Structure 1
């Protein structure tokens, strides 16, 4: 590792001697040859870009020599993606854009080659945080659940964790600031732990991603992209406020960022506070209130052939744990039981650019300090500290004809420590290391192949706790887990508008500490859980097929998957009781899941401003013996009618309005320990836009979710078995003001 740092230091010191090139040009409309202002020109690999001025002119300086992908994008016009060779002091690249009713494409970061979605062999779902805000999302977990194929296991509105195609907890990996987020994902009441302030967009890989990310990515990856630094020689700032009527909730965040030609800086602070939420029967759910404080900051340095950045995020959450509909209160401070969580996330990302290759080094440290306070007890009954150091080193080899290849090493060192009276998992040390290689082969304009191979090794060593033979005793643990994984994907452009993808990938998950070592009553479930130290890796193979057709006024997609999991870990009663609690033990059995998503998007000519969208999602999960898997989302269909308009001049420059009906079907394909959940319909409406007041543009938005105040319960709500419904009618009002 010291050698890596030394190499990066030399690169930074020597970067000034490299030739410093620039790219300049003019962007115009292809039909009338008029210049286009505010067009984005961006190099994803270099993380450099510019915006065209009123003359349509742009300039990007301090570019290294070599061939790099450039992406040109502008709302209302077709996105352009092209490789450009930078070989002279000043390259000139003029281009004309075609108008398009198809929504602007975004760059996908979670897959290794930084391509537009239309160029990706692997299908990745993308959502912009700003768009989720227009739909009235209360939290990040709530917003994620609006992405097709993604749901959330919730405990009220403050605690939620993602479910991707029926898999959740340690089977779904979360990345933020380019590093994996570790926060005791095994716990039922352990939520996402990330505030949406300072998060720019979300990418979802639905299916095994162990090739890229290792253990725990067998179900998929939730990739959170932080906000970008500002462009060189610019300063930006903004204030964002949201109010929610149901919880009398307030979220506020403010940020500032500035950049010179080489140095960059950003800072953002956020506050969130909510009272108990009201169900559709207008009853407040006692102790569903929560508070959250969040700070994100970052510094960066960028020279011609070297760039580096360091980001830090501190998040403090105080979450009530709801158990009943009791005292009707609008207090904001959680009562017992509640949990306080302190998350520290520190990341460093550096890149060294050569003429035809590059080296990326990402280092991360996360500290998750979790305390739980129970009624009638002094101090924290549960106090766990989870500290994780992880690293990811990737070398992008020189291109060989149509072949792009990345090789790398990835791993982590993790310690879990207990300081409270209760013990869910023992003090333990986990070490991971993985070696991988993946290649993208661009055969021609119509065919692409991606292939990869990876080997991982994990060791878990846990301390003994208690007295052997007595209740609650946990034996010492020393286990090793290893796995080979592979992925193969093929994308075919049968025509300009028709794309087909087929992907086969394996994934794995080493059992977590709770599954291996549990021996005690699990609070909140009223059951005595016993782990199994002999559990093996979960190993899966998933086949994904995706087909999409898109033209100027009509889009349709169909995605299907079949996922087989060997040695699926699950918990079930064994018929015994301890202290009047049923005993549940962890077992393994082969399982399989299947389903998919389908949808259409119509924006008819000449009414290009009018959009009708409809999407359907379904998933089934079963054990080999025929029993259904738990926490499988119900089938649902979402229909949206929305209107959008953009004006180049005037005090209203853009606007939107929408009406959405989400129909969730009855879920009666349930496990032995679940009950049937009835179906329901939720109606939502909203409008907003950008207005200019005193020459200052600001975004205004208002939306209403569950407009008819439906009293319902989600199948994935942990409060279902306490006969507590989900949130009722909620009107959200938001404003964003640039400074």
Structure 2
């Protein structure tokens, strides 16, 4: 690694000083366009337009580039520019006003910066303004509200696991700044551990993306990009975010400060969020859904005419309640556990007093998650090509406290260490052809530390893959595709568990001291192999209409809990049983898409059909009478199964933006997916085995906004918004052994107001006021795990499980400086 870095640094500092610059002005309808982003695709060169619409990019190596301009409220502009040595290129670019806020330039899953319409896979970008004006208490929920086909499996307001087209958990790969986000994501109650205020842009690939990333991208990729300074002016810039949400009294504040000079740049970021237990009209305050989250990160980098090197550090720390849903059978008030294991009778637990429900203070039974990450990213021109290198060290520590008589003793305490690596080479363009080759992978080790519950063994994982990707474009046609080969080895030694009579809990013991111990996880060593491939076509029929087609093969090795689990996960309140003989999953997905963008409206349609071999899923175990198999605390037992599966569906979007009604927008999107178990024994059985679990119902979002530009010195614009969220009833569920239950449909009404407030010269801050679930609708999402936290067969009020959040008034202030 040191040799590679030395070569890169030598190349960087001996690079030719023959450079030029680009200056220009942005106009629309004769007026200057400020705060527009100007960038050279595939490079680190970028700038913002000032209050006069002017911009400048300096010290650019001679060559031909693709210059791109993006600004909220305007169509993206793109043109090819030729920079000559010691010359200045002056441009005047006219932008077309458009309140359809589409982020068309994306880079995830391809070799170089590529527009979405030129990418045959279904991919969507979400800008920072779009995320800021979306009210939610979790980043994944924010993205799900902006991307049709993306849903979340929820365990309370701060634990949301992404699901793409009906596939979730380890089938969706999350990237942070191009690096795999590796925590304990195999667990139900394990969320995505990143700072929501730190994310400047996000991209979502829908469909197999194993080609570039390997295992765990079977359903798609969510790529999160933290803020990097792009104003090359040698000045400090920053942003302060503050928000409050009334339902759970969430208070959040985030601050970042960045500098981008001639040679060096840095960023410091920090945030703090805390929330009370959320509430609704049925459950009142939902016990143990509060949280306390802190984040800190830093970036330092230097750049030359040939590229850049970035060095990064992030720290995430979260205290999170662990809801279990135990209640009094008559009053339906929440109760709490005060005794241990067999001494704990769930039907006689004491009621929780109001002061413990209405507080930011977490109960003794909670989880603590710490995630540390140090990584470096290097991108340099190498000859006429580019080389991209990443190297990362991550540590994820999770403690789940589930012992009321010994609150400082963690039930589950695991430490996951991960080393990520990646090397990519973008070969010089050859005519209309671009080719990329690369390798990436990870080394991983997970270990239990002073725990009493052991849902998985201590394991080691070695993963690596090599790929090539090619893209050809000529005229209206584009073709892209590639192939990848992966190897993953998973192993662990015999794992013994013995009861410690003095402490009253189980403990991990190792040979030779295994007297009276149980071999909970016999030794395991297996290598998984996978070939991924894809080929796709794009056709730009006219300037406004585009078509795309893609067929891709994805691969996913079974995760650790699917293979090895054999015990209680205290945070999930589930006893899991795995299968060490599972085969890898392989998917073959076909996608067909069409898009149209006209002056008054735009529309998109994406159809998909996905066949999966060896699909892994969970079913509840029942006794001979059909009753769930539980332990003394009512924790149910689930077992992993494997079968062939098929999922198909569509996403569609339509936006109306009449030119004569400047600022008006009527936006709609729809998503639907159907999932079927193709095991012959379940053919025609309906909910008794024919349907897959965790399939979202038909969902429709509709919103109307009207941007009103004012002559006020302070309030430059006001944008009211009305939004309707409608989810159909879900009758296609896995009801075998009561694994799932049907979910009634619901409709939610949201309203909001955005105000741009000028506070200093040309600088503006944004004030967002939103009321989510205005009518305080009582509902349960089909993908909410809290829906199944119920210990009684009957309820006096006719309601079972816990319900989603009620009315929520959200106020957010975003102050750039």
TM-score by length of 2: 0.86
Out of 106, 109, 112, the residue aligned to residue 111 of structure 1 is 109
Out of 601, 625, 636, the residue aligned to residue 699 of structure 2 is 636
Contact preservation (8 Å) 2:697, 2:729: yes
1:48 and 2:45 equivalent?
yes
Shift of residue 50, structure 1, vs aligned partner: 2.1
Q: Which moved more, 1:501-510 or 1:516-525?
A: 516-525
Shift of residue 88, structure 1, vs aligned partner: 2.0
What is the match of residue 124 of structure 1?
Answer: 123
| Counterparts in 2 of 1:131 and 1:38: CA distance versus 1, 3 Å | closer
Out of 489, 502, 505, the residue aligned to residue 536 of structure 2 is 489
Whole-Å separation in 2 of the counterparts to 1:490 and 1:262: 41
Out of 542, 565, 569, the residue aligned to residue 589 of structure 2 is 542
Whole-Å separation in 1 of the counterparts to 2:571 and 2:246: 29
| Counterparts in 2 of 1:114 and 1:150: CA distance versus 1, 3 Å | same
What is the match of residue 475 of structure 1?
Answer: 522
1:157-236 to structure 2, matched below 5 A, reads 157-232=157-232, 233-236=234-237
Contact preservation (8 Å) 2:575, 2:637: yes
Q: Which moved more, 1:207-216 or 1:697-706?
A: 697-706
What is the match of residue 434 of structure 2?
Answer: 404
Out of 646, 652, 667, the residue aligned to residue 598 of structure 1 is 652
Whole-Å separation in 2 of the counterparts to 1:75 and 1:530: 50
1:339-362 Cα distance to aligned partner (Å, 9 max, x none) = 000011222110111352111101
Whole-Å separation in 2 of the counterparts to 1:458 and 1:527: 28
Whole-Å separation in 1 of the counterparts to 2:589 and 2:711: 47
What is the match of residue 462 of structure 1?
Answer: 492
Contact preservation (8 Å) 2:141, 2:160: yes
Shift of residue 578, structure 1, vs aligned partner: 8.4
What is the match of residue 312 of structure 1?
Answer: 313
What is the match of residue 376 of structure 1?
Answer: 405
What is the match of residue 94 of structure 1?
Answer: 91
What is the match of residue 704 of structure 1?
Answer: 771
Contact preservation (8 Å) 1:78, 1:97: no
1:567-609 Cα distance to aligned partner (Å, 9 max, x none) = 1112335666686887643332110111111121001230031
Whole-Å separation in 1 of the counterparts to 2:53 and 2:659: 28
What is the match of residue 470 of structure 2?
Answer: 439
1:247-646 to structure 2, matched below 5 A, reads 247-281=248-282, 283-324=284-325, 325-326=333-334, 327=352, 328=354, 329-374=357-402, 375-377=404-406, 378-419=408-449, 420-444=451-475, 446-466=476-496, 473-523=520-570, 528-572=575-619, 584-625=638-679, 626=683, 627-646=690-709
Out of 14, 23, 39, the residue aligned to residue 25 of structure 1 is 23
**SS of aligned partner of 2:14:** helix
What is the match of residue 66 of structure 1?
Answer: 63
Q: Which moved more, 1:599-608 or 1:173-182?
A: 599-608
What is the match of residue 347 of structure 2?
Answer: none
* Structure 1: gaps (5+ residues): none
**SS of aligned partner of 2:384:** coil
Whole-Å separation in 1 of the counterparts to 2:481 and 2:287: 51
Q: Which moved more, 1:215-224 or 1:573-582?
A: 573-582
1:689 and 2:755 equivalent?
yes
Out of 76, 79, 88, the residue aligned to residue 79 of structure 1 is 76
**SS of aligned partner of 2:775:** coil
**SS of aligned partner of 2:8:** helix
| Counterparts in 2 of 1:138 and 1:463: CA distance versus 1, 3 Å | same
Shift of residue 139, structure 1, vs aligned partner: 1.8
**SS of aligned partner of 1:197:** helix
What is the match of residue 665 of structure 1?
Answer: 728
TM-score by length of 1: 0.95
Matched pairs, number:
735
What is the match of residue 344 of structure 2?
Answer: none
Shift of residue 55, structure 1, vs aligned partner: 5.2
Shift of residue 11, structure 1, vs aligned partner: 2.2
What is the match of residue 8 of structure 1?
Answer: 8
Shift of residue 653, structure 1, vs aligned partner: 2.4
Contact preservation (8 Å) 1:74, 1:104: no
Contact preservation (8 Å) 1:244, 1:731: yes
Whole-Å separation in 1 of the counterparts to 2:728 and 2:52: 53
Shift of residue 6, structure 1, vs aligned partner: 2.5
**SS of aligned partner of 2:211:** helix
Whole-Å separation in 1 of the counterparts to 2:637 and 2:671: 35
Whole-Å separation in 2 of the counterparts to 1:255 and 1:526: 38
Contact preservation (8 Å) 2:103, 2:127: no
Whole-Å separation in 2 of the counterparts to 1:51 and 1:648: 25
| Counterparts in 2 of 1:54 and 1:142: CA distance versus 1, 3 Å | closer
Contact preservation (8 Å) 2:418, 2:445: yes
| Counterparts in 2 of 1:252 and 1:578: CA distance versus 1, 3 Å | closer
| Counterparts in 2 of 1:37 and 1:720: CA distance versus 1, 3 Å | closer
Shift of residue 322, structure 1, vs aligned partner: 1.4
Contact preservation (8 Å) 1:684, 1:706: yes
What is the match of residue 686 of structure 2?
Answer: none
Whole-Å separation in 1 of the counterparts to 2:577 and 2:785: 21
Q: Which moved more, 1:467-476 or 1:111-120?
A: 467-476
